[in-house]
Amino acid sequence: MARYIARVWSAWTPERAFAFMADMRTFPTWDPGVTRVTQVRGEGDGPDAVFDVTVAGFPRDLTLRYATEHHDPGREVLLVGRGFGLTSTDRITVTPAGDGALVTYDADLSLPGPLRLGDLALRPAFQRIGGRAERGMRAALTQAPVVP
């Protein structure tokens, strides 16, 4: 299994940071590896939310279907994406920290069954992908939040 953990402090309120991060439709704004997100069930984040997430791949883009497996409003969401023999498990946790919020993004990428032998090969690439996403997340969470 390949794993990447990012921790980013934001001046946003924990509620605002959670709302932004838990709604996968925002991912293309901060994760350069995500090219498109389509919500196929639910509205925004929530326990019934399901998304098709297209990620840039080589030699072609891949679409994973993400389902919300756990949703604790304002605190934690667990999103599990599956497709093309990959499983991506993404846990986003938001906690109050000083005058803002600490956002933790913990992502695991794994291959099933006998393909697990290839997990070691995924690690270096996932570190690069995770690093780019973390930089984008940091930039997004330090901008002034858009008030609807």
Does the structure show a pLDDT above 70 at 90? yes
Q: How confident is the model at residue 13 (pLDDT cuts 50, 70, 90)?
A: very high
- The phi, psi pair for 26, rounded to 5°, reads -85, -15
pLDDT above 70 as % of the chain: 88
- Exposure class string for 113-125: b at 16+ Cβ within 10 A, else e: eeeeeebeebeee
Q: How confident is the model at residue 103 (pLDDT cuts 50, 70, 90)?
A: very high
Does the structure show a pLDDT above 60 at 142? yes
Query: How do 62-72 and 50-55 pair as beta strands?
Result: antiparallel
Q: What is the pLDDT of residue 123?
A: 67
**Which range among 16-25, 26-35, 51-60, 123-132 shows the weakest confidence by mean pLDDT?**
123-132
Return mean pLDDT, the chain: 89
Q: What is the pLDDT of residues 109-139, one digit of tens each?
A: 887 765 555 556 666 677 788 889 999 999 9
Q: What is the pLDDT of residues 63-87, one digit of tens each?
A: 999 999 999 999 999 999 999 888 9
Region 88-99 average pLDDT: 96
Q: What is the pLDDT of residue 19?
A: 95
Please, what are the domains in the chain?
A: 2-141 (3.30.530.20)
DSSP string, 41-74: ESSSSSTT-EEEEEE--SSS-EEEEEEEEEEETT
